[in-house]
Amino acid sequence: MRIVRHILPATAAILALAWMALVNAWLLIIPILLGIAAIVYPRWKARERLHEIIDRGDVRALLRAWRGSVPTMTHAETAIPLMIATAYAAFGWVDEARRARAHIIPGLAHEVSREQLEFIDVLLEVYEGDRDAARHRAESLAKMPVESGGRAASARVLAVRRGLLAITRAFVHQATAEDARALIDVRIPVPILIWPLRYAEAIVAVDGGNLDLARTLLASAPAWPENSVFCTFHRELLVQIDGR
Protein backbone atom coordinates (compact mmCIF):
# COMPACT_ATOMS: atom_id res chain seq x y z
CA MET A 1 0.00 0.00 0.00
CA ARG A 2 2.89 2.33 0.82
CA ILE A 3 4.36 1.74 -2.68
CA VAL A 4 1.00 2.44 -4.29
CA ARG A 5 0.70 5.69 -2.35
CA HIS A 6 4.03 6.82 -3.82
CA ILE A 7 3.34 5.57 -7.33
CA LEU A 8 -0.09 7.17 -7.77
CA PRO A 9 0.99 10.79 -7.16
CA ALA A 10 4.04 10.31 -9.39
CA THR A 11 1.88 8.86 -12.17
CA ALA A 12 -0.62 11.66 -11.82
CA ALA A 13 2.18 14.22 -12.03
CA ILE A 14 3.61 12.60 -15.15
CA LEU A 15 0.16 12.51 -16.80
CA ALA A 16 -0.42 16.14 -15.88
CA LEU A 17 2.91 17.16 -17.40
CA ALA A 18 2.17 15.13 -20.53
CA TRP A 19 -1.24 16.77 -20.84
CA MET A 20 0.26 20.23 -20.42
CA ALA A 21 2.90 19.44 -23.06
CA LEU A 22 0.18 18.25 -25.45
CA VAL A 23 -1.92 21.37 -24.86
CA ASN A 24 1.10 23.62 -25.34
CA ALA A 25 2.00 21.77 -28.54
CA TRP A 26 -1.50 22.34 -29.90
CA LEU A 27 -1.31 25.98 -28.89
CA LEU A 28 1.79 26.22 -31.08
CA ILE A 29 0.42 24.11 -33.93
CA ILE A 30 -2.98 25.81 -34.25
CA PRO A 31 -1.58 29.23 -35.36
CA ILE A 32 0.67 27.43 -37.86
CA LEU A 33 -2.28 25.49 -39.27
CA LEU A 34 -4.35 28.66 -39.46
CA GLY A 35 -1.53 30.42 -41.28
CA ILE A 36 -1.26 27.59 -43.81
CA ALA A 37 -5.04 27.61 -44.30
CA ALA A 38 -4.99 31.38 -44.86
CA ILE A 39 -2.52 30.84 -47.72
CA VAL A 40 -3.92 27.63 -49.22
CA TYR A 41 -7.67 28.25 -49.02
CA PRO A 42 -7.80 31.38 -51.25
CA ARG A 43 -5.70 29.58 -53.88
CA TRP A 44 -7.93 26.50 -53.71
CA LYS A 45 -11.03 28.71 -53.92
CA ALA A 46 -9.62 30.57 -56.94
CA ARG A 47 -8.89 27.26 -58.71
CA GLU A 48 -12.39 26.02 -57.96
CA ARG A 49 -13.84 29.23 -59.38
CA LEU A 50 -11.75 28.86 -62.55
CA HIS A 51 -12.95 25.27 -62.95
CA GLU A 52 -16.56 26.41 -62.62
CA ILE A 53 -15.99 29.13 -65.26
CA ILE A 54 -14.39 26.62 -67.62
CA ASP A 55 -17.16 24.08 -67.05
CA ARG A 56 -19.79 26.58 -68.11
CA GLY A 57 -17.75 27.75 -71.12
CA ASP A 58 -17.76 31.41 -70.11
CA VAL A 59 -14.75 32.87 -71.93
CA ARG A 60 -15.41 36.46 -70.84
CA ALA A 61 -15.57 35.43 -67.17
CA LEU A 62 -12.32 33.54 -67.63
CA LEU A 63 -10.62 36.60 -69.09
CA ARG A 64 -11.90 38.70 -66.18
CA ALA A 65 -10.50 36.14 -63.73
CA TRP A 66 -7.14 36.10 -65.49
CA ARG A 67 -6.99 39.90 -65.69
CA GLY A 68 -5.81 40.05 -62.08
CA SER A 69 -2.46 38.60 -63.11
CA VAL A 70 -1.81 41.31 -65.73
CA PRO A 71 0.09 43.75 -63.44
CA THR A 72 2.67 41.05 -62.59
CA MET A 73 3.25 39.89 -66.17
CA THR A 74 6.62 40.30 -67.80
CA HIS A 75 6.63 41.14 -71.51
CA ALA A 76 2.99 42.19 -71.21
CA GLU A 77 2.89 43.17 -74.89
CA THR A 78 3.26 39.45 -75.67
CA ALA A 79 1.72 37.91 -72.56
CA ILE A 80 -1.63 39.71 -72.73
CA PRO A 81 -2.60 38.79 -76.32
CA LEU A 82 -1.23 35.29 -75.63
CA MET A 83 -3.54 34.99 -72.64
CA ILE A 84 -6.52 36.27 -74.64
CA ALA A 85 -5.82 33.97 -77.60
CA THR A 86 -5.46 30.98 -75.27
CA ALA A 87 -8.83 31.64 -73.63
CA TYR A 88 -10.66 32.11 -76.92
CA ALA A 89 -9.01 29.05 -78.48
CA ALA A 90 -9.92 26.88 -75.49
CA PHE A 91 -13.60 27.79 -75.96
CA GLY A 92 -13.65 27.57 -79.75
CA TRP A 93 -13.92 31.29 -80.53
CA VAL A 94 -11.83 31.08 -83.69
CA ASP A 95 -12.07 34.65 -85.05
CA GLU A 96 -11.36 36.22 -81.67
CA ALA A 97 -8.43 33.85 -81.06
CA ARG A 98 -6.99 34.67 -84.49
CA ARG A 99 -7.23 38.43 -83.83
CA ALA A 100 -5.47 38.09 -80.48
CA ARG A 101 -2.90 35.73 -82.02
CA ALA A 102 -2.06 38.38 -84.63
CA HIS A 103 -1.05 40.83 -81.88
CA ILE A 104 1.59 38.53 -80.39
CA ILE A 105 5.12 39.76 -81.13
CA PRO A 106 7.11 36.60 -82.01
CA GLY A 107 10.51 38.12 -81.25
CA LEU A 108 9.55 38.65 -77.61
CA ALA A 109 8.18 35.16 -77.08
CA HIS A 110 10.30 33.12 -74.68
CA GLU A 111 10.22 29.31 -74.54
CA VAL A 112 6.99 29.10 -72.51
CA SER A 113 5.29 31.52 -74.89
CA ARG A 114 6.43 29.54 -77.92
CA GLU A 115 4.98 26.38 -76.38
CA GLN A 116 1.70 28.21 -75.79
CA LEU A 117 1.72 29.54 -79.36
CA GLU A 118 1.90 25.94 -80.58
CA PHE A 119 -1.02 25.12 -78.26
CA ILE A 120 -3.09 27.89 -79.86
CA ASP A 121 -2.08 27.03 -83.42
CA VAL A 122 -2.87 23.33 -83.04
CA LEU A 123 -6.36 24.09 -81.74
CA LEU A 124 -7.08 26.68 -84.44
CA GLU A 125 -5.97 24.28 -87.18
CA VAL A 126 -8.28 21.63 -85.75
CA TYR A 127 -11.20 24.07 -85.64
CA GLU A 128 -10.59 25.44 -89.13
CA GLY A 129 -10.44 21.99 -90.71
CA ASP A 130 -6.70 21.82 -91.36
CA ARG A 131 -6.53 18.72 -89.23
CA ASP A 132 -3.67 16.85 -90.86
CA ALA A 133 -1.50 19.94 -90.35
CA ALA A 134 -2.68 20.10 -86.73
CA ARG A 135 -1.77 16.44 -86.20
CA HIS A 136 1.69 16.89 -87.71
CA ARG A 137 2.26 19.99 -85.56
CA ALA A 138 1.17 18.12 -82.42
CA GLU A 139 3.40 15.16 -83.30
CA SER A 140 6.39 17.47 -83.83
CA LEU A 141 5.65 19.24 -80.55
CA ALA A 142 5.50 15.92 -78.68
CA LYS A 143 9.05 15.09 -79.85
CA MET A 144 10.58 18.38 -78.74
CA PRO A 145 12.68 18.46 -75.56
CA VAL A 146 10.97 19.96 -72.53
CA GLU A 147 12.61 23.11 -71.21
CA SER A 148 13.79 22.74 -67.62
CA GLY A 149 11.29 24.46 -65.36
CA GLY A 150 10.83 22.12 -62.44
CA ARG A 151 9.08 18.78 -62.18
CA ALA A 152 5.53 20.18 -61.94
CA ALA A 153 5.97 22.53 -64.90
CA SER A 154 7.54 19.79 -67.03
CA ALA A 155 4.72 17.39 -66.16
CA ARG A 156 2.14 19.97 -67.20
CA VAL A 157 3.91 20.62 -70.52
CA LEU A 158 3.95 16.89 -71.24
CA ALA A 159 0.27 16.62 -70.34
CA VAL A 160 -0.61 19.49 -72.70
CA ARG A 161 1.33 17.85 -75.53
CA ARG A 162 -0.29 14.49 -74.86
CA GLY A 163 -3.73 16.09 -74.86
CA LEU A 164 -3.15 18.03 -78.07
CA LEU A 165 -1.89 14.93 -79.86
CA ALA A 166 -4.93 12.93 -78.74
CA ILE A 167 -7.30 15.73 -79.84
CA THR A 168 -5.78 15.98 -83.31
CA ARG A 169 -5.89 12.21 -83.83
CA ALA A 170 -9.50 12.06 -82.66
CA PHE A 171 -10.56 14.72 -85.16
CA VAL A 172 -8.96 12.80 -88.05
CA HIS A 173 -10.59 9.58 -86.72
CA GLN A 174 -7.24 7.93 -85.98
CA ALA A 175 -7.31 7.87 -82.18
CA THR A 176 -5.52 4.99 -80.47
CA ALA A 177 -6.41 3.39 -77.13
CA GLU A 178 -3.68 5.54 -75.54
CA ASP A 179 -5.24 8.65 -77.09
CA ALA A 180 -8.63 7.68 -75.66
CA ARG A 181 -7.06 7.45 -72.19
CA ALA A 182 -5.28 10.77 -72.66
CA LEU A 183 -8.56 12.52 -73.51
CA ILE A 184 -9.73 11.64 -69.99
CA ASP A 185 -6.47 11.83 -68.02
CA VAL A 186 -5.35 15.26 -69.26
CA ARG A 187 -8.47 17.06 -68.02
CA ILE A 188 -7.18 17.17 -64.45
CA PRO A 189 -3.70 18.66 -64.98
CA VAL A 190 -4.85 20.87 -67.89
CA PRO A 191 -8.40 22.07 -67.13
CA ILE A 192 -8.26 24.76 -69.84
CA LEU A 193 -8.36 21.93 -72.40
CA ILE A 194 -11.52 20.35 -70.99
CA TRP A 195 -13.85 21.23 -73.87
CA PRO A 196 -11.54 20.36 -76.77
CA LEU A 197 -10.83 17.10 -74.94
CA ARG A 198 -14.53 16.48 -74.31
CA TYR A 199 -15.54 16.94 -77.96
CA ALA A 200 -12.61 14.81 -79.11
CA GLU A 201 -13.73 12.10 -76.68
CA ALA A 202 -17.27 12.33 -78.08
CA ILE A 203 -15.89 11.82 -81.60
CA VAL A 204 -13.97 8.73 -80.45
CA ALA A 205 -17.12 7.43 -78.76
CA VAL A 206 -19.20 7.89 -81.93
CA ASP A 207 -16.48 6.27 -84.05
CA GLY A 208 -16.48 3.29 -81.67
CA GLY A 209 -20.27 3.01 -81.66
CA ASN A 210 -20.56 4.02 -77.98
CA LEU A 211 -23.45 6.39 -78.59
CA ASP A 212 -24.60 6.47 -74.95
CA LEU A 213 -21.21 7.77 -73.85
CA ALA A 214 -21.25 10.34 -76.66
CA ARG A 215 -24.70 11.58 -75.56
CA THR A 216 -23.53 11.80 -71.93
CA LEU A 217 -20.47 13.84 -72.92
CA LEU A 218 -22.57 16.25 -74.96
CA ALA A 219 -25.29 16.53 -72.32
CA SER A 220 -22.92 18.30 -69.92
CA ALA A 221 -21.90 20.94 -72.46
CA PRO A 222 -23.03 24.55 -72.07
CA ALA A 223 -25.20 26.30 -74.67
CA TRP A 224 -22.40 27.55 -76.91
CA PRO A 225 -22.84 30.87 -78.73
CA GLU A 226 -22.84 30.79 -82.54
CA ASN A 227 -19.39 32.34 -82.70
CA SER A 228 -17.91 29.29 -80.95
CA VAL A 229 -17.04 26.40 -83.25
CA PHE A 230 -18.20 24.09 -80.47
CA CYS A 231 -21.76 25.12 -81.31
CA THR A 232 -21.31 23.59 -84.79
CA PHE A 233 -19.43 20.55 -83.48
CA HIS A 234 -22.21 19.92 -80.99
CA ARG A 235 -24.96 20.01 -83.61
CA GLU A 236 -23.00 17.83 -86.04
CA LEU A 237 -22.29 15.20 -83.41
CA LEU A 238 -25.94 15.07 -82.35
CA VAL A 239 -26.95 14.54 -85.99
CA GLN A 240 -24.43 11.68 -86.28
CA ILE A 241 -25.67 10.10 -83.06
CA ASP A 242 -29.35 10.36 -84.04
CA GLY A 243 -28.56 9.00 -87.50
CA ARG A 244 -27.15 5.74 -86.17
CATH number for the domain harbouring residue 196: 1.25.40
The verdict on residue 30 lying in a domain is no
Provide the pLDDT confidence category of residue 67 given band limits of 50, 70 and 90.
confident
What does the pLDDT average to over 117-146? 94
pLDDT of residue 220 exceeding 70? yes
The verdict on residue 224 lying in a domain is yes
Give the count of domains, the chain.
Answer: 1
The verdict on residue 158 lying in a domain is yes
What does the pLDDT average to over 99-127? 82
Domain range enclosing 97: 56-242
Query: Mean pLDDT lowest for which of 2-11, 18-27, 57-66?
Result: 2-11
Provide the pLDDT confidence category of residue 238 given band limits of 50, 70 and 90.
very high
The verdict on residue 162 lying in a domain is yes
What pLDDT shows up at residue 41?
Answer: 46
What does the pLDDT average to over 108-134? 86
Query: Residue 176 — left, alpha, or beta (φ > 0 → left; ψ -120 to 50 → alpha)?
Result: beta
What does the pLDDT average to over 101-118? 74
The mean pLDDT of the chain is: 83
Provide the pLDDT confidence category of residue 3 given band limits of 50, 70 and 90.
very low
The verdict on residue 23 lying in a domain is no
- CA-to-CA distance for 227 and 217, rounded, in angstroms? 21
The verdict on residue 22 lying in a domain is no
What does the pLDDT average to over 214-219? 96
The verdict on residue 14 lying in a domain is no
What pLDDT shows up at residue 66?
Answer: 81
Query: Mean pLDDT lowest for which of 21-25, 54-58, 100-104, 238-242?
Result: 21-25
pLDDT of residue 190 exceeding 70? yes
Provide the pLDDT confidence category of residue 240 given band limits of 50, 70 and 90.
very high
The verdict on residue 238 lying in a domain is yes
